[in-house]
Structures are given as C-alpha cells and as structure tokens.
Structure 1
Amino acid sequence: MAEVVAGQGDTKLERVVTSGTFSLDGGTWDVDNNVWIVGDDAQCIVVDAAHTAAPILEAIGDRKVVAVLSTHGHDDHITAVREVAQATGAPTYLHPADRMLWDRVHDVAPDRELADGDRFEVGEVHLEVIHTPGHSPGAVCFRIPELGAVLTGDTLFQGGPGATGRSFSSYDTITASIRTKLFALPADTVVFTGHGDSTTIGEEAAGQDGWERPEGA
C-alpha cells in the first residue's frame, strides 16, 4: 500500500515498502526497502524498484511511467526493475559505475545511463541526479527541489552514512560525497532513505561529528 509522504499541487511523492533479501560477499540478509513513486495522476517516475513488482505496479495503477531509476546496483534495490519496466514500457536507468552489480542480477543491460546533473521532469516537479559514490561506485541521489526533498538510497540515513564494509564501497568516499554534495543542500531538505525513516539534511549535518568509521571500512 502506498503512503503519500510529500506533495505539491497534483504531484505527490509516495512510498511503497517491499521486503526480501540483500546478498553480497557470500552473505544474505533480510531487508525492507523503500520504493519511491513521484508524479501526478497521469504519469510518474519509480525510484528503486525493490524485491517484488506486484505492490509497485498496484501503486502505479494506470499511470504512464516516465522512467524506472535506481539509486545504485545492489540486488535488493533492483530485483524488480525489469519486471516493472516491462509491465509499464518505461526505460530503466543506472549509473554505469554500478554495472558490475547490475550484471549479477540481470542478463540485460539498463536501457540508459545516469550521470551527475541529469534532470527528469514529471508532473509539477523535477528530479536532479547527484552522483554520490561511496556505498557503491555508481550510487546517486535524486533531489526534488519543489518538494524540498532528496531520495538518498543507501548513501545517507537517519544517523549517518550508509554501510561501507562490503565490496566496492569506501567510507572515505561516502563521507566526502555526503559532506560536499548533500550537505550543500538547504538544511530543511527532507531526506527520504532507501530503508527506514526519513530525516533532514540539517539534522544529519549537525550530527556528523559523531560519525564513527565502521570496523573494516
């Protein structure tokens, strides 16, 4: 079931939570993921089609899907991407630096590549791509200025940076991405994350002195 978390005019940001597993480096963990749908009654964009397509397609309804975007290539965030894209006819997008992760899940390449500064328009808002490597090399965030929001995937959470203890990740890189790119956004920007609860840029910037480098990161 979709939950409306922000909106402007006829355009709204909705959250759908799906459940499944995340696997990397020989381990597998149970996870709940936030799937984001932004748009109006006519068209929308899907961000991070995770785990299961059915609840995502139910939330989309009969709207035209402009694009299926992925914040990064970890399997829990992209498992349902192709099924959603095939059902809606929408193109899929991923930053090319995460192709090695995508290729572990899908045997067909993404339709198009994401790059820093790309812009997607839907309804009365637009999404701006911010390349924020660290959690993975091709991790990106999507800023929605009209909603005062940013979709951060697994780059920034309530309490600090995303995980960096696994392959293809770097603590120094993710913290640099957050401090130079995300903390440059207005302090009242709401951070909608890939898992769990939302926060704000201001709250996380204020708490950055308490960040601790994870063991092995």
Structure 2
Amino acid sequence: MTSARIDHLVTSGTFALDGGTWDVDNNVWIVGDDTEAIVIDAAHDAGAIAAALGGRTLRAIVCTHAHNDHIDAAPALAEATGAPILLHPDDLPLWKQTHPDRAPDGELVDGATLTVAGTDLTVLHTPGHAPGAVCLYAPGLGTVFTGDTLFQGGPGATGRSFSHFPTIVDSIRDRLLTLPPDTEVRTGHGASTTIGAEAPHLEEWINRGH
C-alpha cells in the first residue's frame, strides 16, 4: 500500500523559444508523503514550490523536458533544497538555452525507476515535443505524468525547434496508449484526462499524421 499522494500547484510565467515569448500557466506536480517528495517540473516560482513542499525532504527535481517554462525555477529550487535536478540527456541543448552555466545533476534514462514514499515512477522516454521528453508512470497511483507529450485533446505542440510530429505520435502510440485505460494523465498544462479518454481520437489522429 503506497502512502504517497499527489499535490498540484499552478505557476505562471513565460515560455520562450525561437524568438517568441508566450504567457503560460504550468502544472507543477509533487509526489510524496509527509516526509519526502519529488517535484515534477519546477516551473516559474521556486518559492511557491518550496512552500508547497512544506519542509519535506525533496529527493529530486524531475524535468519532463527542457523548455524554459518547465525548468526556469529548477536551479533556485535545487539551491534551496539540495535536491538534484534530473533531465534526459537528449534535452541538454534546450537546457543550455535557459541555464548555460548550470548543468543538471543527473540523467533520466528510459526504463529507470524513481522511488519516493514507497511509490515507483518509471521513466518513459517519449520524444517528439522535445528530443529528451519523458513521461513518468506511477502504476501504484494509477497515473502518468506526461509533461507536454500528451494533453486532454491530443499531443503536445511540434511546430518549433527540436520537435517532430511523427515522433510524438509514435511515442504516444507505443509508450502511452499501451497503459491501462483508466490511467490518469496529469499534464504539463491544463486539465487532466485519462488514457482511455484520449485513445479513441488519438488513433484517428495517428492515422491522419502518417
């Protein structure tokens, strides 16, 4: 029986890439219990995230990908808590656009398991929105944290640098639609959904995209 729970906060800031800037609201997910936790995507506001942790030991700051709006607060949060920042190495070129003088502390590897508060989260490498994009599947919590790979209503954007539409479609089909249909999809922006809710129209969409 897992003792872990999922806390959620929304932080606001800007997303910048390819010379454009957009105002965005980001989901920050905290998985843990009363003593320890991990943060998924330290977006915009290290102080608000630290306050939500409430003195718990932060085991890791996990980056689903390295677009600036998902990592801009990561170094400050790491400095405040001593937690390591973990990123898939394929996203280092994007990371360096935002933090040229501060490297991540560790690598996320496909198939690796992160454990916090008795709960296992498996790293799924799901490139497409970004080369090093990952999702984190927590079967004990019946949820997958998808960053910007899968949203309510379809895949994440692939119109900018370092992204590729056929690749994100393959990632979703091969790595996410194979999860149990009742798995809750907790996204990088906006509302949650389920694998079962997205699968039917994604399959049509996959056929259109190829």
Give the distance between the partners of 1:110 and 1:67, measured in 2 at CA. 11
Residue 181 of structure 2 is aligned to residue 202 of structure 1: no
1:64 to 54, 57, 69: 57
Amino acid across the alignment from 1:121: T
Q: RMSD of the TM alignment (CA)?
A: 1.6
The equivalent of 1:99 in structure 2 is 92
* Aligned counterparts, 1:34-73, within 5 A: 34-73=27-66
Q: How far did 1:54 drift?
A: 1.0
Give the distance between the partners of 2:173 and 2:207, measured in 1 at CA. 15
Q: How far did 1:209 drift?
A: 4.1
Give the TM-score normalised by the residue count of structure 1. 0.92
Q: Do 2:44 and 2:72's aligned partners in 1 also have CA atoms closer than 8 Å?
A: yes
2:12 to 19, 29, 50: 19
Give the distance between the partners of 2:46 and 2:6, measured in 1 at CA. 18
The equivalent of 2:127 in structure 1 is 133
The equivalent of 1:90 in structure 2 is 83
Q: How far did 1:210 drift?
A: 4.6
Q: Do 1:33 and 1:76's aligned partners in 2 also have CA atoms closer than 8 Å?
A: yes
Q: Number of residue pairs matched?
A: 208
Give the distance between the partners of 2:207 and 2:129, measured in 1 at CA. 13
Q: Do 2:169 and 2:206's aligned partners in 1 also have CA atoms closer than 8 Å?
A: no
Larger helix fraction of residues: 2
Give the distance between the partners of 1:126 and 1:65, measured in 2 at CA. 16
Deviations 1:170-192 (A, max 9, x none): 00000000001101100110000
The equivalent of 1:5 in structure 2 is none
The equivalent of 2:72 in structure 1 is 79
Q: How far did 1:124 drift?
A: 2.5
Structure 1, unaligned stretches of length 5 or more? 1-7
Q: How far did 1:207 drift?
A: 1.3
- Mean CA deviation greater in 168-177 or 202-211: 202-211
Amino acid across the alignment from 2:127: P
Amino acid across the alignment from 1:103: K
Give the distance between the partners of 1:148 and 1:188, measured in 2 at CA. 7
Give the TM-score normalised by the residue count of structure 2. 0.95
The equivalent of 1:146 in structure 2 is 140
Give the distance between the partners of 1:108 and 1:11, measured in 2 at CA. 31
Q: Secondary structure at the match of 2:132?
A: coil
Structure 2, unaligned stretches of length 5 or more? none
Q: Secondary structure at the match of 1:208?
A: helix
Q: Do 2:142 and 2:182's aligned partners in 1 also have CA atoms closer than 8 Å?
A: yes
Identity percentage over the alignment?
Answer: 59
The equivalent of 2:205 in structure 1 is 211
Give the distance between the partners of 2:50 and 2:118, measured in 1 at CA. 22
